[in-house]
Amino acid sequence: MSLPGFADVQAAATRLEGIALRTPLLENARVNAMLGGRLFIKAECLQRTGSFKLRGAYNFLSQMSEAQRRNGAVGWSSGNHAQGLAEAGRLLGVRTTIVMPADAPTLKVANTRASGAEIVLYDRVKDSREAIGQEISARTGATIVPPYDHPWILTGQGTVGIEIAEQAKAAGVVLDAVAAPCSGGGLSTGVALGVKGISPGTTVHAGEPAGFDDLARSLATGIKQKNDRLTGSICDALLAPTPGDITFPLAQKLLGPGLVVTDEEVLDAMELAFREFKLVVEPGGAVALAAALTGKLPVKGRAVAVVCSGGNVDHETFARALARRPQ
């Protein structure tokens, strides 16, 4: 399979017209003064379902054949992909089945069910969600919709990159760098395709939580690396163990060095997004912003855009971010 390109992202953008919200690119004079440059936030937390995941899922489902659509779609996720896939199914009239952990937050399960998806719960310790999903697919003919490692998924997410480049251009801004959160790499590689198709000189980076920086280490060594742990970061959306088979070669081709931030830096970024941008950003959605605020992604004297990729955060975690207000 050849790697997807900019034209595939453009085609996805056409499919998503009137479906995905064209989220705003926000700027804040005080934050700019503090950083000594121009920082833009692509507020993808405002997207339908509270994250960018609707884009890839809708782009995937809308390319399934009529026959495939009749047999439905199946996916596994405890969070944003579940909600994005379920909502894409509702919009396109495709039955969806989502395999979710039995201990997933009640609200996320309820939200996914509210989009009309059938939920199959599994035990994180005893069961394999992939095996359950594959069994459902074999039995019902439902198409498996992977969370990131598929051209239709990552080019759908890449429409975020096209929008950033177009919005910056409309504002008369030439972006030096763009950064996006990274779990399996679907968003960051897609965004790189979209941005670089319009603005080839812009560097694109993927942000990851400390301890879950498999992509940063894979890019540095040239060989796919795995994370030591499967859980243990506040960024619950960014715990994929290793880069994908499609996303990794794309990342090697398109991305600059990885950016790695701590949980504390993520909470500080969430607090700033609350205070200055009036946005609710979830931990995993705030890693690229955290990289910009800490100087790991330099903003001084430059124009930089970061994707805030989701806002599906529970009340307790958001209260922790609020508690970090500056004195």
What amino acid positions are annotated as catalytic residues? 53, 309
Radius of gyration for the alpha carbons in the chain, expressed in angstroms and rounded:
18
Task: Give the three-state DSSP class for 180.
Answer: strand
Query: Can you list the positions of beta strands (E) in 124-202?
Result: 143-144, 177-181
Rounded to the nearest whole angstrom, what is the least distance from the CB of residue 231 to a copy of itself in the complex? 24
Q: For the chain, report the end-to-end CA distance as a whole number of angstroms.
A: 54
Amino acid at 172: G
| Interacting span for a copy of itself (CB under 8 A) from 8-16, 177-185, 217-225, 310-318 | 310-318
CA-to-CA distance for 35 and 45, rounded, in angstroms?
Answer: 23
Assess contact for 54 and 81: CB atoms under 8 A. no
**According to the binding rule CB under 8 A, does residue 87 interact with a copy of itself?**
yes
Q: Which is nearer to a copy of itself, 228 or 314 (CB)?
A: 314
Q: Which of residues 112-141 bind a copy of itself (CB under 8 A)?
A: 114-115
Q: Which stretch binds a copy of itself (CB under 8 A): 18-26, 61-69, 71-79, 227-235?
A: 18-26
CB of 279 to a copy of itself, least distance (A): 7
Phi and psi at 38, nearest 5°, equal -115, 120
Q: Which is nearer to a copy of itself, 21 or 92 (CB)?
A: 21
Retrieve residue 51's tokens: 């994250």
Selected binder of a copy of itself within 43, 57, 73, 180 (CB under 8 A): 43
Nearest CA-CA partner of 326 in 272, 270, 265: 272
Assess 33 for contact with a copy of itself (CB under 8 A): yes
Residues in 192-211 that interact with a copy of itself by CB under 8 A: none
Place of tokens 């990289």: 291
Residue in 3, 5, 10, 24 binding a copy of itself, rule: CB under 8 A: 24
Q: Which residues, in sequence order, are CB contacts of 93 under 8 Å at separation 6+?
A: 69
The interface with a copy of itself within residues 269-308 (CB under 8 A) comprises 274-275, 277-281
Residue 220 CB: number of other CB atoms within 10 A?
Answer: 12
- CA dist 153 to 67, 74, 173, 195, 203, Å? 20, 14, 28, 17, 22
Cβ-contact 83, 50 below 8 angstroms:
yes
- In the list 4, 50, 101, 158, the residue contacting a copy of itself (rule: CB under 8 A) is 50
Give least dist CB 34 to a copy of itself, A.
Answer: 9
Q: What is the dihedral of CA 84, 87, 88, 89, to 10 degrees?
A: 130
- Run of H or E including 311: none
Residue 106: closest CA among 84, 128, 121: 121
Identity of the residue, 235 or 250, whose beta carbon is nearer to a copy of itself in the bound complex: 235
Q: Which stretch binds a copy of itself (CB under 8 A): 46-54, 97-105, 187-195, 199-207?
A: 46-54
Least separation in angstroms between CB 105 and a copy of itself: 12
Min separation Cβ 321 and a copy of itself, Å? 10
Among 37, 69, 90, 144, binds a copy of itself (CB under 8 A): 90
Stretch that binds a copy of itself, among 133-141, 146-154, 244-252, 318-326 (CB under 8 A): 318-326
Could you give the CA distance from residue 39 to residue 168 in angstroms, rounded to a whole number?
11
Name which position in 12, 20, 45, 216 contacts a copy of itself (CB under 8 A).
45
Question: Can you give the binding site for a copy of itself, defined by CB under 8 A?
Answer: 18, 21-24, 26-30, 33, 43, 45-46, 48, 50, 87, 90, 107, 111, 114-115, 171, 274-275, 277-281, 311, 315, 318-319, 322-323, 325
